Amino acid sequence: MAGKIRIRAQLDGDTCEVKALMRHPMETGLRKNQAGDAIPAHYIEEVTVTHNDQVVMHSYWGAAVSANPFLGVRFAGGQAGDTVKVMWRDNTGATDEGETTIR
Amino acid sequence: MGLMESIRNTRWLSALFGLLIAAAPSSGEDAGIFDEYRAMFGDDNPAIFVIDEGEEYWLEPQGPKNTSLEDCDLGLGPGVVEGAYARLPRYFADVDKVMDVEARLIFCMGELQGRPSAEIEGYPYSMRGDLGTEIEALVAWLADQSSGMPIAPGQEHVKEREFFTLGEQLFYYRAGPHDFSCATCHGQQDKRIRLQSLPDLTSHEGAAASYSAWPAYRISEGIVRTMGWRMRDCFRQQRFPLLGVGSDVTVALQTYLAVTAAGAPMMAPGLKR
Amino acid sequence: MKRESGAGIARRGLLRMGIFVAAVAAVPTKLWATITKPSAAFAATDMDGTFAALGQTPAESAGIIFTTPDIAENGAVVPIKIEVDESLLPGVRRLYVMVEKNPNPMAAMFSMIEGTRPYVETRVKVAQTCNLYAVAETDSGFYMASKETKVTLGGCGG
């Protein structure tokens, strides 16, 4: 299956609006399951957005970002057809990435 | 890719319709209190991941016969999925029964894939905190394949009309330790539980707003819930016995709702609190 | 298709790690050398501690346009939007989101390069009714806007 990131990148004048929806449980480590055992913390720690392989936004997250995280960012200088990528790394070291072209 | 394009487009439409419908029952004092909150979600519904999974399940060879569900007849002919959900529940001559989408899927899994129905019926809906089930994913995908199409359940066959009547009777049937019926909560306008507005499912507007938005991504649970689950959970809340997936009772209730909602466009999977 | 077990994701993750590292390595070192995780700020348990870890209590700024719902139907998912009026607050390099009464108020930190708008939209968990903070870091220091969001419990959810 393709990566679990959905991305849209649309031009609005000279600004490219990027919206990404990631699939991740974003467990805080503070919740318990039905048996009463703590569910280990499992959350995205680092998210990077690139435009034609140049980073436009880099972020560090805590577990307080909601499950199935949504991210919207905007940058100037994009052209229709350019590549936008969103990548994440979580606290277990797992990563994912998704890409789209600017429309 | 074509699918995702169409999803994106229908989602914009859905968001628009959603706003229109959400505005409709806002006559009460507290209604509309979450409008700002809901509007901020725009058209970004995590159900899109589940829709994709549903399509993968549909195409995946499974069971003793190692077959996919691609030849499953949901009422518009084997393998026809576009618009099929909006026409359910309906009468199926091959089993001489009225079925909802879940009953039909379980039938197809048995018939085409050779999978025992008990396997699916025992765990049709995910528990809180679990990943979604196959049924939930399939229903999400199938509902998306009917997005924008008018709700048009079968009412030609005598059994379909019988199911509507049965569903209506069930809706008003008071029982259980609380002497509750569906109509206790959903038979008048401007009712609520805490801050949650309750739709009047006896009116076309109320039934349409509700029926068209299921299956839906439940934000609080992080999974897609189906109309079948909604019925089961309402039964649980009324302290009624466990409502069987695809049972005559759930199919009849859904027939009553679908007929009451008929004509309104499907806009599922919706987004719920 | 098949449900991915945690192990499966981790395995795939290892395969993908190479790509991720490569992309991050493409960042101009000069610009990004300073970006390390402000771990102390993420570990702080109240607003004072968070600001202390960042090194400054931000000044209120009308240049930060912070949108959150007045009342949220579900505290697990509260949409937030931070925009900056660059005529009032120029040179924003980073944006932070903080939730006052969460176990750790710091929810996220976003770093922008030149050309990236000081703009971010996301959804955060809000444990209880409290103030949410949007903090902007510029070359001249830290600025903030805050807004209260009430968290409620819904009904049975139709």
Exactly one of B72, B182, B185, B234 is catalytic; name it: B234
Q: Mapping DSSP to helix (H, G, I), strand (E, B) and coil, where does residue C17 land?
A: helix
Q: Which has more confidence, C11 or B41?
A: B41
In chain A, whose CA is at the least distance from the CA of B48?
Answer: A6
- How many CB atoms are closer than 10 A to CB B177? 8
Do the chains contact at B49 and A33, CB–CB below 8 Å?
Answer: no
- Write down all domains in chain A, each with its CATH number in brackets: 5-31+39-101 (2.60.40.10)
C40: pLDDT strictly greater than 70? yes
Identity at B233, one-letter amino acid code: D
Cβ separation of A6 and B48 shorter than 8 Å? yes
**Per-residue pLDDT averaged across C128-139, rounded?**
95
With a cut of 70, say whether residue B4 has pLDDT above it.
no
| Residues C107/C57, Cβ–Cβ less than 8 Å | no
Q: Which residue of B has its CA nearest to A33?
A: B129
Assigned token pair, B14: 């859905």
Q: What does the pLDDT read at residue B204?
A: 97
Interface check for B57 against chain C (CB to CB < 8 A): the answer is yes
Give yes or no for B220 touching C (CB within 8 A): yes
* Span A37-92, pLDDT tens digits: 888 999 999 999 999 989 999 999 999 999 889 999 999 989 999 999 999 999 99
Measured CA to CA, the distance from residue B183 to residue B170 in angstroms comes to: 9
Look up the CATH superfamily of C38-151. Answer: SoxY domain (2.60.40.2470)
Instruction: Please give the mean pLDDT across all residues of chain B.
Output: 87
Q: Which CATH class is domain B2-272?
A: mainly alpha
Out of A1-15, B32-46, C118-132, the most confident range is: C118-132
Q: How confident is the model at residue B193 (pLDDT cuts 50, 70, 90)?
A: confident
- ipTM of the shown complex: 0.94
* Residues C83-100: tens digit of each pLDDT: 999 999 999 999 999 999
Q: Which of B139-143, B208-212, C11-15 has the lowest mean pLDDT?
A: C11-15
- Judge contact between A73 and C120, C-beta under 8 A: yes
B233 touches chain C (CB under 8 A): yes
C60 CA: distance to closest CA in chain A (Å): 23
User: Residue C95 belongs to what H/E stretch?
Assistant: strand C92-99
The model's confidence at residue B266, banded by pLDDT at 50, 70 and 90, is very high
Please give the residue that has the higher pLDDT: either C29 or A22: A22
**Secondary structure string (H, E, C) spanning B106-149:** HHHHHHHHCCCHHHHHCCCCCCCCCCCCHHHHHHHHHHHCCCCC
pLDDT of B130 > 80? The answer is no
Q: Which residue in chain B is spatially nearest to C74 when comparing CA positions? A: B273
Residue B46 Cα, gap to closest chain A Cα (Å): 7
The interface residues of chain A toward chain C in range 36-55, judged by CB-CB distance below 8 A, are: 42, 45-46, 48, 50, 53-55
The residue of chain B with its CA nearest to that of C78 is: B37
B108 as an active site residue: the answer is no
Please return the burial class of B255, using the count of CB atoms within 10 Å of its CB with bins 0-12, 13-18 and 19+: buried
CA distance B255 to chain C (A): 17
* Residues C34-46, mean pLDDT to the nearest whole number: 88
The residue-averaged pLDDT of B111-121 equals: 94
What pLDDT shows up at residue B45?
Answer: 82
Residues C137 and C112: their CA atoms lie apart, in Å, by: 11
Q: How far apart are CA C106 and CA C137, in angstroms?
A: 14
CB contact under 8 A, C158 and B219: no
A21 and B222 within 8 Å at the Cβ level: the answer is no
pLDDT at position B157: 97
> Is the distance from CB of B197 to CB of B25 less than 8 angstroms?
yes
- Domain residue spans in chain C? 38-151
Q: Of all residues in chain B, what percent carry a pLDDT higher than 70?
A: 87
| B44–A33 CB contact, under 8 Å | no
Annotated domain spans of chain B = 2-272
How far is it, in rounded angstroms, from Cα A44 to Cα A21?
Answer: 13
**For residue B150, what is the DSSP state?**
B
Which amino acid type is present at position A11? L
**What's this model's pTM, rounded to 2 decimal places?**
0.74
> pLDDT band at A3, cuts 50/70/90?
low
Q: How far is CA B55 from CA B131, B139, B219, in A?
A: 16, 10, 22
Has residue B22 got a pLDDT over 50? Answer: no
